[in-house]
Amino acid sequence: MKKYWRSIEEYQAIQKQDIEKKEPEPEFSIEGMSDEEIKGKSNRRDFLKMLGFTIGYATIAASCETPVRKAIPYLNQPEEITPGVANYYASTFYDGHDYCSILVKTREGRPIKIEGNELSSISKGGTNAKTQASVLNLYDNARLKSPRKNGEKTDWASIDKEIIAELEKLSAESKEIILLSSTVISPSTRQLISEFSKKYKNVSWITYDAVSMAATHQANKINFGESFIPTYNLKNAKLVMGFNADFLGTWLSPVEFTKQYSAARKLLNGETSMLRHVQFESTYTLTGGAADDRIPIKPSEEGILLLNIYNYIAAKTGTTTYNAPNTSVDYKAYAEELLENKGKAIVFSGTNDLNIQLICNGINALLNNYENTIYTAKRYNFKQGDDQAIEKVIAKIKSGAAAVVHYNVNPVYDSPKGAAYKEALDKVGLKVSLSDTMDETASVCTYVCPDHNYLESWNDAEPQTGIYSTQQPTIKNIFDTRQVQDTLLKWMGKDPVFSDYLETYWEKNIYPKQSTFTTFKSFWNQSIHDGTAVLETKFKSLKFKPANLKAPEYNINGAELVLYEKIGLGNGKYANNPWLQELPDPITMSTWDNYVCVSVAFAKANSLSQEDVVSVNGKFELPVLIQPGLAKNTIAIAIGYGRTRAGKVANKLGQNAFGLIYEKDGFKSLLGNSIKISKIEGKTYPLALTQEHHTMEGRSLVRETTLDKFLKNPASGNEQHAIDQAKNTTLYTKPKFTGFQWGMNINLNACIGCGNCVISCQAENNVAVIGKEQVKNRRIMHWIRVDRYYSEDEENPEILHQPVMCMHCDNAPCENVCPVAATPHSGEGLNEMAYNRCIGTRYCMNNCPYRVRRFNWFEYANNKDFDYNMNNEVGKLVLNPDVVVRSRGVVEKCSSCIQRIQEKKLDAKKENRQLRDGEIKTACQQSCPADAIVFGDLLTPDTEISKLNKNPRVYNLLEHLHTLPSTSYLTKIRNKKS
């Protein structure tokens, strides 16, 4: 390039530049770059760039917080499994205590929900809370994952080898082998056990129930010559008189009784009479709450009262009377009523006392109730346990028994002789437990051969004479477990395939007894499909032989004690189930604990207040809960707590009250013992109640009336409804729906408050467990709750139960206050919740007059602070894939099981037909043992719900607020004698 210059200086400068330029040029141009850049230092621009990038990247990374989780599709599509579509299998729930015929809902091969089996002639589609929760037991991380020897993991081959060798040795030496089991109602298993006994000769099979009915057996043996438990039919009765028998809650066959009871008391089809129920009881039970008349009696009064009633009736009918002490209870009117209902009454007692059971039998015989309402030939196979079982085992061990096999029993925990039993076991050479968890008994056994969960096993059951029930696996065993029957078969040296054994048993023993099916295969397939088979059996009733009656005598020193089973926890077998622990007791509304229930008067007299800690007989400490309606000088404590080896949920919760069982004449009774409590000054223990205010404050929330008034005016008790309807006016147009408008009705006369719906909903809708601390903070997550109110006298109040869930108001107060429109109203009348949209202002919760909205105060899933089923990979398998698991900070509530509505709507669409009424069943409704809930379309006039809503008993909760709820209630009617 030619260079021009204007001055000498410039020329020289150019010259100089040219010289410098001769230096070798760098490989790439750094022209225009600053020194810092060349040296690799960053300047302000870079800083800004990097800052921008960092913030931008962090924002993107943070907003896409959900990690990608890969789902692997089926390599080979399994037969019968369609992803996203549920399969249902009929099966049987029986745990040695409760029985239910069930349908198991499985999704992609895993059971996620228990439904009632409507084909069953016993449970008729109903379940109870324990049955509902049992699906979670399948995924309990505390279950044994392999067989154990001395607590160490081992494998089946070696454990079998050792046990068989031992058994054969003992058999050869003619040493006694004890098989201790709970009541087995499976006919095939019974046969298997007897074959096992034959194989090893000296096997004694002893049946042990933690809570037994041995006195009933014994009384029937005396009165009828045979040991059995009769069946009852409440539908045929006009009057039921229960004495400490919680027959709707925990006694004998509660689901079946509830079905019969509610059917006889619904008053929906123009009936002019209803079953009357009088309950005499010492503690307040669910059954007492449902009763028309409830009379608190001390345990020691029960026998005396019954004998007086017997004498009254006997005197009137001209039979022998017996010497009876006077009773303070005014029983004459009730005895008179029994006489009026001769042949249409049932008198039963839940007390395991021979004298009391004999008197009950006597009264029923005098009233001619046998074969009219009580059946001696059609029997229950439940509760065959021997009250002396543990004593017998201890005696046998002392006299040389060398092996004990435990099947579905846990006597170290639940026998009053537990400690002695544990000590006796030390002397036994071969100690085997077949328990599926390392429970108190299993942990002192040498070998533990874990059983399958019942959802993994084949089995059958004969709950009542002639009524059979089948059980089939709904999932392959999750852990390395083996079902007990297979274990026994293996030890007998046979091919361990119990399903074949079962089928053969049915072919040989049950198939021949029926005439409907012509081939066994069709009979078998139908039975497995239905889950139940009923054989036409001819019953030969037994003749009653009177026995000598006397009232039992008690030696009371201090206060009288009643032990009781809680609705959720029962005898403590499922203590490690967090759903059951968190189910509020329907009477005390307490969760996660047992406690000493005292009456209001007792608390006053002994200056006790709620949550004070008392020492019980100086043995252990429990908090006080003041329970109105307890009998005078009576104290109630729940059994089933104080587990030490149930798992991390249950351990150290409450105290074990089995040691307080009353033993007399060889019977073990929950009632009758004496107890002394002394207040520990200055010590309190918080109780987690889900309801802390117990009266309705005179508000017409649960509306009730009596039968007399109802017959005169069907709208009686519901007067407020007419007043509110008259004032019901608005400036706005009423919302209109096309297609469907979903509605629900709850019959308060049918509902007994058992809490089945709560657990059913929890299982269906992935409702989180939050633990005692958070329940105490009043943050329970249950979408449906059962409110309990007391009315009248504080020493014997009446109880009113009211299930409350989202009312799906058509004029919902929650909807218009949400700033982000996260809870809109659907075109089908549902109040919907968009979790993704919710930002958690909680205004909707405040503005819901029914208080049914729940907030995720914490992250309840995958959080070690809430170490329940949603915090481990096994426990999470129970989650319903149709329902999202809610995250922290969002509001949730009842959705009317929208996933079920959608499923059935799609089914109808696929089949190109109209939806049928009753096709959609919400989770709470499906398994309700009382059939108290009806769900359906309000727009179609002939649906059940539409018909019910025309009933004069119908009202809405808080209808004066003009929220226009889609959920209505029917008034409660008590059959009171005026």
What is the closest distance, in whole angstroms, from the C-beta atom of residue 720 to other proteins in the complex?
A: 11
Give the integer Cα–Cα distance in Å for 828 and 812: 14
Residue of the chain from 517, 530, 857, 977 that contacts other proteins (CB under 8 A): 857
Rounded to whole angstroms, how far apart are CA atoms 749 and 933? 11
Least distance in Å: CB of 864 to other proteins? Answer: 12
The alpha carbons of the chain give a radius of gyration, in whole angstroms, of 34
Tell me how far apart the alpha carbons of residues 245 and 357 are, in angstroms, rounded to a whole number.
12
> CB count, 10 Å around CB of 187?
18
Determine which residue in the list 99, 310, 662, 850 makes contact with other proteins, applying CB under 8 A.
850
How far does the chain reach from its first CA to its final CA, in angstroms? 126
- Residue of 137, 125, 90, 133 lying closest to 458 (CA atoms): 90
Torsion sign over Cα 950, 952, 957, 960: positive
Per CB under 8 A, 909 contacts other proteins: no
Q: Considering beta carbons, is residue 21 or 693 the nearer one to other proteins?
A: 693
How many other C-beta atoms lie within 10 A of the C-beta of residue 708?
Answer: 13
C-alpha 533: how far from chain center: 25
Question: Can residue 638 be called a binding residue for other proteins (CB under 8 A)?
Answer: no
- Closest Cα partner for 180 from 202, 151, 209? 209
Which residue, 205 or 857, has its beta carbon nearer to other proteins? 857
Pattern 801-840, other proteins, x by CB under 8 A: -x-x--------x--xxxxxx---------------xxxx
Residue 841 in the binding site for other proteins (CB under 8 A):
yes
> Quick one: which of 511, 595, 602, 789 contacts other proteins (CB under 8 A)?
789
Answer yes or no whether residue 316 interacts with other proteins by CB under 8 A: no
For the chain, how many residues are written?
Answer: 978
Does the protein bind other proteins through residue 156 (CB under 8 A)? no
CA–CA dist 658, 424 (Å, integer): 19
Residue 777 binds to other proteins (criterion: CB under 8 A): yes
Closer to other proteins at the Cβ: 839 or 906? 839
> Token digits for 625?
């809960």
The residue (of 33 and 821) whose beta carbon lies closer to other proteins is: 821
**Choices 519-527, 690-698, 708-716, 932-940; region in contact with other proteins by CB under 8 A:** 690-698
Neighbour count for residue 600 (Cβ, 10 Å): 16
How far is Cα 515 from Cα 522, in angstroms, rounded to an integer? 12
Q: From the CB of 685, what's the least distance to other proteins, in Å?
A: 18
Q: Does 772 bind other proteins (CB under 8 A)?
A: no
The CA distance from 484 to 469, in Å, is: 18
109: how many CB neighbours lie within 10 A of its CB?
14
Taking the complex as a whole, the smallest distance from the CB of residue 769 to other proteins amounts, in Å, to 14
| Dihedral sign from CA coordinates of 574, 575, 580, 584 | positive
CA separation for the pair 933, 945 (Å, rounded) = 10
Per CB under 8 A, 697 contacts other proteins? yes
Q: Is 688 one of the binding residues for other proteins (CB under 8 A)? A: no
Site string for other proteins, 43-82 (x = CB under 8 A): ----------------------------------------
Q: Using CA atoms, how far apart are residues 923 and 946, in angstroms rounded to an integer?
A: 20
How many C-beta neighbours within 10 Å does residue 453 have? 24
Nearer to other proteins, 219 or 589 (CB): 589
Of 725 and 777, nearer to other proteins (C-beta) is 777
Q: Are 807 and 850 in contact (CB under 8 A)?
A: yes
Query: Least distance in Å: CB of 841 to other proteins?
Result: 6
Partners of residue 533 on adjacent β-strands: 468
**Per CB under 8 A, 2 contacts other proteins:** no
Q: Binding to other proteins by residue 611, rule CB under 8 A?
A: no
Among 166, 787, 810, 828, binds other proteins (CB under 8 A): 787
| H-only helix segments in 200-267 | 214-224, 254-263
Helix (H, G, I), strand (E, B) or coil at 359: helix
User: Contact region for other proteins (CB under 8 A) — 116-124, 251-259, 665-673, 782-790?
Assistant: 782-790
Q: How far is the CB of 820 from other proteins (least distance, A)?
A: 5
Segment contacting other proteins by CB under 8 A, of 331-339, 363-371, 674-682, 843-851: 843-851
The CA-atom distances, in angstroms, between 138 and each of 133, 155, 306, 481, 571 are: 10, 21, 44, 12, 19
Stretch that binds other proteins, among 168-176, 290-298, 556-564, 691-699 (CB under 8 A): 691-699
Tokens matching residue 810: 């058509």
Q: Which of 70, 693, 910, 950 binds other proteins (CB under 8 A)?
A: 693
Number of residues that bind other proteins (CB under 8 A): 57
Least distance from C-beta 788 to other proteins, angstroms?
A: 7
- The answer to whether 963 contacts other proteins (rule: CB under 8 A) is yes
Phi-psi region of 596 (alpha: psi -120 to 50; beta: other; left: phi over 0): beta
Site for other proteins in 204-243 (CB under 8 A): none
Shortest Cβ 862–other proteins spacing (Å)? 13
For 612, phi then psi, to 5°, come to: -65, 150
- Tell which phi-psi region holds residue 196, choosing left (phi > 0), alpha (psi between -120 and 50) or beta: alpha
Q: Report the residue from 168, 371, 391, 859 that binds other proteins according to the rule CB under 8 A.
A: 859
Q: Which of 320, 557, 846, 862 binds other proteins (CB under 8 A)?
A: 846
Q: What is the nearest approach in angstroms of other proteins to the Cβ of residue 555?
A: 42
What 3-state class would DSSP assign to 966?
Answer: coil
Token pair for 470: 């089948």
**Span interacting with other proteins, options 228-236, 463-471, 785-793, 902-910, rule CB under 8 A:** 785-793
Task: Candidates 82, 158, 328, 695: give the one binding other proteins (CB under 8 A).
Answer: 695
| Beta carbon of residue 822, minimum distance to other proteins (angstroms, whole number) | 8
Question: Shortest distance, CB of residue 825 to other proteins, whole angstroms?
Answer: 12
Smaller CB separation from other proteins, 742 or 850: 850
Output the smallest distance, CB 858 to other proteins, in A: 4
The verdict on 774 binding other proteins (CB under 8 A) reads yes
* Strands (E) located in 518-631: 532-534, 559-565, 590-591, 596-598, 612-616, 620-626
Which residue do the tokens 């037969």 mark?
79
* d(C-alpha 664, C-alpha 387), whole Å: 10
Task: Give 62 or 157: the residue with its C-beta nearer to other proteins.
Answer: 62
Q: Does 723 bind other proteins (CB under 8 A)?
A: no
Which residue lies nearer to other proteins by CB, 695 or 725? Answer: 695
Q: What are the two backbone dihedrals, phi and then psi, of residue 663, each rounded to the nearest 5 degrees?
A: -115, 125
Tokens representing 633? 């000088």
942-961: contacts with other proteins (CB under 8 A): 957-958, 961
Rank residues 81 and 961 by Cβ distance to other proteins and give the closer one.
961
Among 221, 683, 699, 909, binds other proteins (CB under 8 A): 699
**Residue placing its CB nearer to other proteins in the complex, 349 or 774:** 774
Q: Taking CB under 8 A as the rule, does residue 855 contact other proteins?
A: yes
- The amino acid at 233: N
Assess 905 for contact with other proteins (CB under 8 A).
no
**CB 811 → other proteins: shortest distance, Å?**
10
Residue 141: how many CA atoms within 13 Å on its side-chain side?
15
Q: Which 864-903 residues touch other proteins, going by CB under 8 A? A: 887-891
Structural contact between residues 506 and 522, judged by C-beta atoms closer than 8 angstroms? no
Q: How far is CA 182 from each of CA 94, 204, 207, rounded to the nearest angstrom?
A: 11, 14, 5
Q: Scanning the structure block, which residue is given the tokens 């006796």?
A: 424
Q: Which residues bind to other proteins, rule: CB under 8 A? A: 691-699, 701, 774, 777-780, 785, 787-789, 802, 804, 813, 816-821, 837-843, 845-847, 849-851, 853-859, 887-891, 957-958, 961, 963
